[in-house]
């Protein structure tokens, strides 16, 4: 039964990656509001909120449509009239503080209720990310769970990395920044997250390569060219774009290239990794 469920989930990896980046965007925005570091006004707050909502709701929209292979959302099948499970309820709960932030955002966003809503948004987003990462591993066979032990923390780091890229793009697109120098600490943080994510993914692949159940090093070696392409899109292009932020006139173009590049690379990497997990469990 778990493997049948896993096969259905693996048919739609894209919306899960979009949702993780959306929750990461919400988490960063909520944290910035809590700390009083996002005085972007109402429009500057509503734009990243809306982007995150679209990213997170993509999977729910797909689950409500009559498409084969993508009929559930975190294990919940809304088209069949069933009740949301725990993962879906956690994902839906994050919409409540999002609506509160949307209603309270105004001026310099220094109102205590706005900060409190931002804290709730961050907490709910991180809770959903953590639980869905844990649930993701629980659907695997015991041997696959051992090989994928770092996936929950890797999901959180990816959400922070991709969500940070989205927030970077939104800030630049809105023109809320008076000087590019204000982004330098943010750029360094995103570069550090990219490095940490790369290390975690490397450990995950190394663990999978050392598992005899999942084909060992032979299959992992055969996937290295595709993994290199995925890493190019996930890390190299976005990091170069981050380093180009100091150059006026191309910072927005660089951000607009970095975000889809990261999502495309991660989608490719997850397809490769999860296909190897499924193949090993089936074999």
CA–CA gap between residue 190 and residue 161 (Å, rounded): 6
Query: What is the rounded average pLDDT of the residues 237-242?
Result: 93
Length of the chain: 283
Q: Treating both helix axes as pointing N-terminal to C-terminal, what angle do 13-34 and 95-104 enclose, rounded to 10 degrees?
A: 40
pLDDT for residue 263 = 96
Pseudo-torsion of CA 161, 47, 169, 56, nearest 10°? 40
DSSP annotation of 74 reads T
With a pLDDT cut of 70, the percent of the chain lying above it is 81
**Rounded mean pLDDT, 64-70:** 68
| Coil/strand/helix, residue 249 | coil
Cβ(108)–Cβ(176) below 8 Å = no
Please tell me which residue, 109 or 67, carries the higher pLDDT value.
109
Residue appearing with tokens 């899109």: 233
DSSP-based three-state secondary structure for 63: helix
Q: Which one has a higher pLDDT value, 141 or 85?
A: 85
Name which residue leads in pLDDT, 240 or 77: 240
Highest mean pLDDT among 26-30, 61-65, 68-72: 26-30
Instruction: List pLDDT tens digits, range 82-130.
Output: 788 899 999 999 999 999 999 998 888 888 899 999 999 999 999 999 9
Give the span between the Cα atoms of 44 and 16, in whole angstroms.
26
Q: What is the pLDDT of residue 283?
A: 43
Closest to 172 measured CA to CA, from 191, 157, 187, 194: 187
Tell which residue, 196, 167, 198, 194, has the closest CA to residue 183: 167
Nearest-angstrom CA–CA distance, 256 and 164: 13
Please tell me the predicted confidence (pLDDT) of residue 4.
38
- pLDDT tens across 198-225, in order? 999 988 888 777 665 555 566 666 778 8
CA atoms within 13 A on the CB side of 245: 26
């Amino acid at each position: 039964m778990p493997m049948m469920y896993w096969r259905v989930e693996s048919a739609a990896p894209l919306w899960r990656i979009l949702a993780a980046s959306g929750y990461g965007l919400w988490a960063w925005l909520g944290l910035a509001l809590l700390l009083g570091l996002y005085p972007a006004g109402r429009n500057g707050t509503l734009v990243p909120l809306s982007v995150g909502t679209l990213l997170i709701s993509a999977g729910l929209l797909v689950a409500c449509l009559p498409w084969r292979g993508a009929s559930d959302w975190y294990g919940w099948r809304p088209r069949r009239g069933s009740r949301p499970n725990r993962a879906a309820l956690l994902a839906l709960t994050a919409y409540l503080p999002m609506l509160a932030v949307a209603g309270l955002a105004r001026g310099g966003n220094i109102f205590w209720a706005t900060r409190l809503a931002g804290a709730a948004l961050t907490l709910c987003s991180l809770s959903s990310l953590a639980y869905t990462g844990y649930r993701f591993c629980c659907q695997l066979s015991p041997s696959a769970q051992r090989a994928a032990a770092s996936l929950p923390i890797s999901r959180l780091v990816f959400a922070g990395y991709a969500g940070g890229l989205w927030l970077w793009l939104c800030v630049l697109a809105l023109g809320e920044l008076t000087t590019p120098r204000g982004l330098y600490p943010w750029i360094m943080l995103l570069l550090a997250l990219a490095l940490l994510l790369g290390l975690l993914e490397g450990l995950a692949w190394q663990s999978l390569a050392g598992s005899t159940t999942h084909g060992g090093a032979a299959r992992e070696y055969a996937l290295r060219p595709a993994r290199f392409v995925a890493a190019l899109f996930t890390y190299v292009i976005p990091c170069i774009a981050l380093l180009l932020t100091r150059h006026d006139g191309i910072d927005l173009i660089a951000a607009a290239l970095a975000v889809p590049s990261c999502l495309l690379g991660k989608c490719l990497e997850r397809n490769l990794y999860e296909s190897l997990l499924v193949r090993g469990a089936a074999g």
